[in-house]
């Protein structure tokens, strides 16, 4: 066993919002997704994580928001660190301190920024110098969507066919397009079935093969729309893809109903605003909160209108953000 000097390393990563969703794995353990996905990192929202491997520890210690974490969350973090320990060929436990600058239950999936920041900090802390592709593959093992929080700006995660070719890469830098994500928080309580449990149910829906049948076309349309800054085409495919995912969720066995009546109210208003010529569209992840995507020049106007809608408790505003970095 090696006994190298261990450094204390910190990293920052941003959550991301998927325009074309990841839902269902072809290999649950490796987190090889059924389909490729597209997303944008969210600037201003972040996870900061500090890692130090310590030969004196008898187990991993994980402190999140000032609280020592035990149970399934610690187990998930520990088994992710096992992957790094095996890559580095060492058997030393780590001390991890992590903090988000956005609250839990804000409608922003925190596992993406959490595992992206942890992958970067922990790999450096053991002396591994992984490139972006390797980091994205590593982050994927912690949480699928975390693979997309490693590269910057607008990001594609190619599904691939094996661990080696399932990683994410940037398709355009953050300054490519002035999009704003207005995250409408309708309910901040914890969801009963999280993404990991949800992915495992995807195949129980008779609609999952139908969702997957044309997902490549949706990825192509969405990528093209982003590259050409074609909001109308982007809006159409983003809403269609979110609706496909929720159709699969609702028809899973057991069914997953993430929406609230207020979710539908926001979606309905966004559709109407677009009919009136305002470039806004919506997408919903595994929860009731709605991400309203809008061109930045309309962001304040739409934010004010969203704030008036029934059930909107809070709105977070984010623009395209950078990839994960050491800090």
Tokens 């580095």 — which residue? 88
Question: Following CA atoms 294, 166, 245, 112 in sequence, which dihedral angle do they give, to the nearest 10 degrees?
Answer: -60
Residue 193: both structure tokens together: 């079935």
Taking the complex as a whole, the smallest distance from the CB of residue 313 to ligand DP6 amounts, in Å, to: 20
Q: What are phi and psi of 69, to 5 degrees?
A: -100, 135
Q: What are phi and psi of 109, to 5 degrees?
A: -65, 120
Site for ligand DP6, rule CB under 6 A:
18, 21-22, 31, 37, 109, 111, 143-145, 195-196, 199, 285-286
Taking the complex as a whole, the smallest distance from the CB of residue 304 to ligand DP6 amounts, in Å, to: 27
Cross-sheet strand order for the sheet of 280-284: 280-284, 290-295, 179-185, 314-318
Tokens 């990192």 — which residue? 41
Taking the complex as a whole, the smallest distance from the CB of residue 40 to ligand DP6 amounts, in Å, to: 11
Residue 158: both structure tokens together: 């190619």
Taking the complex as a whole, the smallest distance from the CB of residue 139 to ligand DP6 amounts, in Å, to: 10
Q: Report the C-alpha gap between 278 and 280 in whole angstroms.
A: 6
Measured at the CA of 73, the angle between CA 72 and CA 75, to 5 degrees, comes to 60
Taking the complex as a whole, the smallest distance from the CB of residue 321 to ligand DP6 amounts, in Å, to: 15
């Amino acid at each position: 066993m090696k006994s190298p000097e261990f450094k204390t390393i910190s990293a920052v990563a941003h959550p991301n919002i998927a325009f074309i969703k990841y839902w269902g794995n072809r290999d649950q353990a490796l987190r090889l997704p059924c389909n490729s996905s597209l997303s944008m990192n969210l600037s201003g929202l972040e996870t900061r994580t500090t890692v130090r491997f310590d030969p004196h520890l008898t187990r991993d210690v994980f402190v999140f928001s000032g609280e020592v974490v035990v149970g399934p969350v610690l187990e998930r973090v520990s088994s992710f660190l096992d992957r790094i320990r095996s890559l580095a060929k060492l058997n030393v436990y780590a001390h991890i301190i992590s903090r988000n600058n956005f609250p839990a239950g804000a409608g922003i999936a925190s596992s993406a920024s959490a595992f992206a920041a942890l992958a970067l900090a922990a790999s450096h802390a053991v002396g591994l110098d992984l490139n972006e592709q390797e980091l994205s593959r590593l982050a994927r093992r912690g949480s699928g969507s975390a693979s997309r929080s490693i590269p910057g700006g607008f990001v594609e995660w190619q599904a691939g066919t094996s661990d080696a070719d399932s990683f994410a890469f940037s398709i355009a830098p953050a300054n490519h397009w002035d999009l704003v994500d207005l995250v409408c928080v309708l309910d901040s309580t914890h969801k009963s079935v999280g993404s990991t449990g949800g992915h495992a149910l995807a195949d129980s829906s008779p609609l999952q093969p139908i969702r997957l049948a044309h997902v490549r076309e949706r990825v192509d349309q969405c990528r093209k729309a982003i590259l050409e800054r074609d909001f109308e085409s982007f809006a159409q495919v983003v809403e269609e893809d979110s609706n496909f995912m929720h159709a699969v969720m609702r028809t899973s066995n057991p069914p997953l109903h993430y929406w609230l009546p207020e979710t539908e109210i926001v979606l309905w208003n966004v559709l109407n605003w677009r009919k009136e010529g305002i470039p806004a569209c919506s997408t919903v992840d595994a929860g009731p909160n709605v991400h309203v995507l809008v061109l930045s020049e309309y962001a304040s106007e739409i934010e004010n209108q969203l704030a008036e809608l029934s059930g909107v408790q809070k709105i977070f505003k984010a623009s395209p953000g950078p990839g994960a970095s050491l800090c």
